[in-house]
């Protein structure tokens, strides 16, 4: 019954997503203003997760930050069934079973104004640069340059959103000041 209500009444659907973010604010390291978290999301290591303002996390997204942080900037869209994993199993010691080798943990950073498509996987230590787009289904193993569009497995540069001069100008914009003036 719960899912039917959300499905057929958009105001309820988005209202509950905002309410989830407000309630989870006490469990996370930080959740900013006007953030929405859809149903079915899973969070491991909430005290290590920072989420900025105006972030939309779609349903069944997972943020796994057991021992290190995940930092999500402002004005972010994250598609459904996306996973951010800040730790990885060790496997280098041939004399020890992998299950007993522990894990390596590296922080994930998503800078401001990023769109992460559906079914994306972001692995430990990755920084997603400001203004970039990660295409649906991508597996991100390396840093993503600002204002770029990446996709594939592993994710590779597809193109830049703008020419070099426009990117240079865009990097100088202070969105926290600009957005406050928008109606």
Catalytically annotated residues: 89
- Give all strands of the β-sheet with 62-64 in edge-to-edge order: 42-44, 62-64, 83-85, 121-122, 139-140
Lookup result for tokens 């999500």: 72
Q: How far apart are the first and last CA of the chain?
A: 36
Contact 130, 144 (CB under 8 A): no
Which tokens hold the place of 176? 């926290």
């Amino acid at each position: 019954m719960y899912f039917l209500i959300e499905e057929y009444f958009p105001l309820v659907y988005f209202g509950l997503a905002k309410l989830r973010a407000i309630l989870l604010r006490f469990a996370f390291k930080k959740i900013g203003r006007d953030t929405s978290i859809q149903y079915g999301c899973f969070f491991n290591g909430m005290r290590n997760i920072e989420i900025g303002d105006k972030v939309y996390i779609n349903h069944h997204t997972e943020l796994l930050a057991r021992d290190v942080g995940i930092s999500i900037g402002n004005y972010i869209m994250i598609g459904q069934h996306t996973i951010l994993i800040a730790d990885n199993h060790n496997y280098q010691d041939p004399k020890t079973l992998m299950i007993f080798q522990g894990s390596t943990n590296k922080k994930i950073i998503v800078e401001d104004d990023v769109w992460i498509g559906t079914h994306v996987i972001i692995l430990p230590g990755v920084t997603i640069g400001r203004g970039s787009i990660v295409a649906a289904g991508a597996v991100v193993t390396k840093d993503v340059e600002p204002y770029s569009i990446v996709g594939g497995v592993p994710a590779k540069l597809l193109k830049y959103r703008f020419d070099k001069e426009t990117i240079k100008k865009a990097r100088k914009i202070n969105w926290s000041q600009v957005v406050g003036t928008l109606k």
